[in-house]
Amino acid sequence: MLPWPAFSSVDGKRLALRMGCGGDAAGTGMLSSEESKEGALHFEEVWHQSSSDRGTWCWHPASNSLDVGYLTMEGIPKQAARVQVDTCLAVPDLDGAAVTAEEEEDDGAALGNGAADVHLYDYHIAYHPSYSVPILLFRGRSRTDGTLLMWEEIMEDLPEASRELAGADDGRWTFITQQEHPVLRTPWFSLHPCETAALEGLMRGEERNTGAQLCYSDNSLLQLARCIPGPDSASQLKPVVLTGFEQLVIQL
């Protein structure tokens, strides 16, 4: 079995995109950085062959030999949930709504004042040496001014189930955390590896499992990707990340 993101072939057609599973004989779910690089390059290739119309993952080698590198898919648009009204111009709400509706038709028309902003999400997959697994990192930017999105804005873009979990008492610190990018050392959001079991439960529609065990094994990027801000519905916006992963599993 190929290491991360490992693909297991099911009846010759389906590929399960797995994260940190089966990488070592002992079944600890851990991978070496070299294994993760091998897996990442393979993933990039398979992705390119199967879903080149849905955005591209690019491999960026690291500048030193301690870190192997990371995969990126950047600038994936998502219509912001909230209508942003330019306070200086004080555009009435009605106008804002009108522009929004117009833009939906136009799918990505130039933004006017008071229109809902489009958020651009960057996704990186980088190797986390301490946990010996690849982690999925993301950050959002505003298309209008390029500023990084704050936690509250990202919250609005989360799928509903994730929003509930993230909005729980300490949710923001245990579920989705802001941490340094393992290679770039800049602030990124990620799903904290500690809560993986809780995430799995969430994705199966179970109650939150508070006794989450730290284990990345048998987890998939597909599952993780469902918990973070994704693009709008697949029919509207391609390339997509969330449905992209899903389709990779379903269609191949």
Q: Which residues bind other proteins (CB under 8 A)?
A: 24-28, 30, 63-67, 129-132, 148, 150-151, 170, 173-174, 177-180, 185-187, 192, 194, 212-215
**Smallest gap, in angstroms, from Cβ of residue 148 to other proteins?**
6
Between 129 and 159, CB nearer to other proteins: 129
Between 108 and 187, CB nearer to other proteins: 187
Between 105 and 207, CB nearer to other proteins: 207
Among candidate residues 21, 58, 88, 194, the one labeled active-site is 194
**Smallest gap, in angstroms, from Cβ of residue 190 to other proteins?**
11
Positive/negative CA dihedral, 161, 226, 229, 28: positive
Is 194 noted as a catalytic residue in this protein?
Answer: yes
**Smallest gap, in angstroms, from Cβ of residue 205 to other proteins?**
23
Between 14 and 181, CB nearer to other proteins: 181
Q: What is the DSSP string of the chain?
A: ---SSEEEEETTTEEEEEES-S-STT------HHHHHHHHHHHHHHHHHH-GGG---EEEE-SSSSS-EEEEEEEEEEEEEEEPP-TTTT--HHHHHHHHHHHHHHTSPPPPTTSEEEEEEEEEEEEETTTTEEEEEEEEEETTT-PBPPHHHHHHHS-HHHHHHHHSTTHHHHTEEEEE-TTT-SEEEEE-GGGHHHHHHHHTTPPP-SS-----TTEEHHHHHTTS---S-TTT--S-SHHHHHHHHHH-
Between 52 and 186, CB nearer to other proteins: 186
Task: Report the catalytic residues.
Answer: 194
